[in-house]
Amino acid sequence: MKAILLAAGRGTRISRMIEEIPKCVLPVDGIPLIRRSVMMLIERDIQPIVCVGYNKTKIFEALEGLDVTYFFNPFYDVTNSIASLWFAREELTEDTIIMNGDVYIDHSILDLIIETEKECSLMVDTGRTVVGDYFLMLENGYIKKFGKDLPLKERTCEYVGIGKVRERFLADFVGKLNSLIGNQEHQLWWENVLYSLTEEKNIGTIDIKGMFWSEIDYFDDYERILAYTSRDPQKEKAVGGVR
């Protein structure tokens, strides 16, 4: 299994608070967030691939000494995560986790997505429907509607920022990825590859309601992570500092 971490963006909503560093290198218990994620993957013999762009040297420094494959999106300032994934498309050859580089998850959440047998799925939190960044409407666990501005009455859950595509679904996935990029849809998120398949395919979900996670869009999100790890430090203790 592989995991592609998307970490090329500038993060404009939080950049004024953290100066000239990618938000994925913010420290959690003294360890850059993206290093923590990559170490969790390596512990499970999952090959980490990282897509970089904005201030990439900071990410290289954060991951120094780890066995990581890198892809560079030179157009990171005018594209979105779908373009970063497209630059790494040659790695889409087997079961692949795809996640945003600024997502904090713990070991139990990672294990859930590793173990799923669904052909393709996105992690969601059905406990969040009022305040959040991106919402989905589900029917029997499958995605039917999606959007940042999805009406409240149609929201079933918030999207977490991590998904998985299994090998047998990759032909459809890569085909749609290439089609969207070929149509100059480079401003989309990588998840739009799956959203655009919902009318013809069942795109599943994995619900992590009640489990702690956070994607860092604003500085408040980062503060929530720090408050969580300081409240329960056992969650962050392990050899290497990640369990």
Bridge-based pairing of strands 96-100 and 142-147 is unpaired
- Domains with residue ranges and CATH for the chain: 2-233 (3.90.550.10)
Position 118 scores a pLDDT of: 95
C-alpha distances in angstroms, 86 versus 8, 147, 174, 236?
12, 22, 9, 33
Supply the DSSP symbol for 125.
E
In 3-state terms, what secondary structure has residue 41? helix
What is the percent of the chain with per-residue pLDDT over 70, rounded to a whole number? 91
Cβ neighbours of residue 217 under 8 Å, at least 6 residues apart?
Answer: 13, 14, 102, 133
- Find tokens 């679904």 and name the residue: 169
Position 9 scores a pLDDT of: 86
Supply the DSSP symbol for 73.
-
Position 237 scores a pLDDT of: 45
Q: 198-223 pLDDT, tens per residue?
A: 999 999 999 999 999 999 988 888 89
Position 100 scores a pLDDT of: 95
Closest by Cα among 239, 98, 222, 108 to 165:
98
Q: How many residues does the chain have?
A: 243
C-alpha distances in angstroms, 233 versus 29, 194, 226, 229?
9, 36, 10, 5
Q: 86-126 pLDDT, tens per residue?
A: 999 999 999 999 999 999 999 999 999 999 999 999 999 99
CA distance 100 to 79: 15
Q: Mean pLDDT over all residues of the chain?
A: 91
Is residue 143 pLDDT above 80, yes or no? Answer: yes
